[in-house]
Amino acid sequence: MTSYVSSTRTRVAIVGGGPAGLALSRLLSVAGVDSVVIDNRTHHEIETTHRAGILERDSVRLLLDAGVSDRVLRDGHEHQGIDLRFGGVSHRIDFQKLVGASCWLYPQTDVFLDLHAARIRDGGDLRYGISDAAVTDHREAPRVTYSDANGAHHEITAELVVGADGSRSICRDLVDNPQRYFREYPFAWFGILAEAPPSAPELIYTRSPHGFALISQRTPTVQRMYFQCAPTENPADWSDDRIWAELQRRLAGSDGFALKEGPIIQKSVLPFRSFVQSPMRDGNLLLAGDAAHTVPPTGAKGLNLALADVRVLADVIERALLKNDDDALDSYTTRALERVWKAQHFSYWMTTMLHRIPDTTDFDELRQLGELTTLVSSEAGSTYLAEGYTGWPHH
Ligand code: DHB
């Protein structure tokens, strides 16, 4: 028999203390529902992992409505549009004019820090740096066990368990006989952080004959950029000079745009795939965010989709636990997956419209340019992009 140095009873045990798990525990706390959050990563590991940097309008609203922080409005940057660049010329998509909405440049690591600080402020039970997490009996009497940094065993019993444990989820495998939908892409992204001033006030999504590139930002002195590469690419093979030469040739054009260079302080290759698991619930276990779905990064939907799941999940959990509404949990998968598949399509569409498919044909290249030309010259086309990018309303 394992002996436990602590045994905690709570209403919701949340496996995963990234933005999805923390946002859920915050919304539940505001509604008066106790939770315990565990994560095998340390706070430092999460804080120093670079992720995407764009928040949809309703992701910002969630942080504000939940009283997490208004730092996003003070330190983040409102972007009222993006540039689509192809044929060596940039075309602005004006979100405000098309749909009356903006998005915010605010890195995921800052979202994590704000949520963490909010939970510490309201007395949240957050346990980082644990190992050997296991969930048992999730249909009858859910129990989560784990070891702490000293190897001592702990136990949490709960009414519900939420798997917000990311793309390497352990909770996902507890769903009985799930459907799993995958799509692989024959490329990846090479991501860098560079010490340089911004080259443009907003993001530039670029399609070039040499492949995709994205010019994003972080601070007035640090910029984030990505370019399409082979999935097998090794960052160590890329000197700063080689990276800048590659980015420069993808951004080259006739409209006077100049990409500003500087020392590169971080390099990594990002995985690239689409994945959905359905259902997102089994008994008293519910999944949120990357544990249930992954999108390719083009369009920055990953974090936004996780926060949208959490908004629905907080609602169904509150109805189930506070109003004894037995049907509430049943509705979760259908409600969450509707948006998941819209975002899957949006991310797939942005990806295939802007990336170079290896061994592509002249037909496909010219068709891709035809699509981009239609998009930037049609209000209907631009409006679809603006609506999807700034995010469909949460409900
Ligand atoms: C960023 C990442 C994305 O995938 C994207 O579409 C836009 C911005 C970023 O990290 O800044």
211 lines ligand 1 (CB under 6 A): no
16 lines ligand 1 (CB under 6 A): no
Enumerate residue ranges in the chain where pLDDT < 70: none
Query: From ligand 1's centre to the CA of 225, what distance in Å?
Result: 8
What is the pTM assigned to this prediction? 0.97
Q: What is the DSSP string of 287-344?
A: E-GGGTEE--STT--HHHHHHHHHHHHHHHHHHHHHS--TTTGGGHHHHHHHHHHHHH
| Ligand 1 atom 3 nearest Cα | 300
| Ligand 1 atom 7 nearest Cα | 300
Q: Over the stretch 329-360, which tens digit does the pLDDT of each residue have?
A: 999 999 999 999 999 999 999 999 999 999 99
Which tokens belong to 359?
Answer: 């061994």
Check residue 2 and give its pLDDT.
86
| Ligand 1 atom 10 nearest Cα | 52
297 lines ligand 1 (CB under 6 A): yes
Query: From ligand 1's centre to the CA of 301, what distance in Å?
Result: 9
Check residue 50 and give its pLDDT.
85
299 lines ligand 1 (CB under 6 A): yes
Check residue 288 and give its pLDDT.
98
Topology of the domain covering 6-77+105-182+273-350? FAD/NAD(P)-binding domain (3.50.50)
Topology of the domain covering 184-272+360-390? D-Amino Acid Oxidase; Chain A, domain 2 (3.30.9)
For residue 299, give the ligand 1 atom closest to its CA: 6
Question: CATH 3.50.50.60 in the chain, residues?
Answer: 6-77+105-182+273-350
Pairing of strands 188-195, 222-229: antiparallel
Helix boundaries (H) for the chain: 19-30, 43-47, 57-65, 71-75, 95-99, 108-121, 240-251, 302-322, 332-354, 362-377, 379-390
Which tokens belong to 373?
Answer: 């030309």
Q: Which residues are catalytic?
A: 79, 205, 297, 301, 389
Check residue 395 and give its pLDDT.
76
300 lines ligand 1 (CB under 6 A): yes
52 lines ligand 1 (CB under 6 A): yes
From 84, 216, 269, the mutation candidate for ligand 1 (largest count of ligand atoms within 8 A of CB) is: 216
